[in-house]
Amino acid sequence: MRSVETAFLLLLAAFLAGFCALGLFYYDYSLALMRFPLLAAGGTLVVVIVQVVALRRGTAPMQVGATPAIAPGGERRRVREALLLLSVLPMVFLLGFPAGLAVYLLGVLRCAGETWGFSLAAAAASLGLSYGIFVKAMGVPLPLLPYWWPY
Partner 1 sequence: MLASVADGFALFLDAEVLLLCVLAVFVGLLLGVLPGLGGLTALALLLPFIYGMEPMAGLGFLLAAHAVVYTGGALTSIALGIPGSGPNAATVIDGYPMTRAGKGGIALGAAFASSGLGGVVGVIALVGLLPFLQPIVFHIGSPETFLFAVMGIIYVGVLGERSMARGLIAGGLGVFLALFGYDRLQGVPRFWLDFDYLLDGIRLVPLVLGLFAVPEILDLALGRRAETPAVGRRDRFAQIGEGLKATIFRPYLLIKSSLLGVFIGIVPGVGGDTAPFVAYASAKQTSATPEAFGNGCVEGVIAPEASNNAKEGGALVTTLALGIPGSAGMSLLLGGFLLLGLEPGPDFLANHMDLAVGLAIVLAFANLVAVVVMIAASPLLLKIADLRPQVLAPILAVLVVLGAYAYQNEPLDVVATFVIGALGCAMKAMGYSRPALVLGFVMAPLIETYLHITLQAYGMSFLLRPGSLVLLVLIVMGLSWGRLRRYFLAAAARYGGNGNAKR
The region that residue 88 occupies, defined by phi over 0 for left and psi between -120 and 50 for alpha, beta otherwise, is: alpha
Burial 25-37 (b: 16+ CB within 10 A, else e): eeeeeeeeebeee
Query: From the CB of 33, what's the least distance to partner 1, in Å?
Result: 6
Alpha helix ranges (H) inside the chain: 2-21, 31-57, 75-86, 88-95, 97-111, 116-127
Query: From the CB of 44, what's the least distance to partner 1, in Å?
Result: 3
Query: From the CB of 19, what's the least distance to partner 1, in Å?
Result: 5
Query: From the CB of 89, what's the least distance to partner 1, in Å?
Result: 6
Residue in 20, 51, 24, 52 with CA at minimum distance from that of residue 37: 20
Query: From the CB of 128, what's the least distance to partner 1, in Å?
Result: 12
- DSSP for 28-61? ---HHHHHHHHHHHHHHHHHHHHHHHHHHHT-SP
Decide whether 86 or 149 has the Cβ nearer to partner 1: 86
Decide whether 138 or 150 has the Cβ nearer to partner 1: 138
Q: Which amino acid is at 38?
A: L
The residue ranges that bind partner 1 (CB under 8 A) are: 1, 4-5, 8-9, 12, 16, 19, 22-23, 27, 29-30, 32-33, 36-37, 40-41, 43-44, 47-48, 50-51, 54, 60-63, 66-71, 73, 78, 81-82, 84-86, 88-89, 92-93, 97, 101, 104-105, 108-109, 112-114, 122, 126, 129-130, 133-134, 138-143, 147
Decide whether 22 or 116 has the Cβ nearer to partner 1: 22
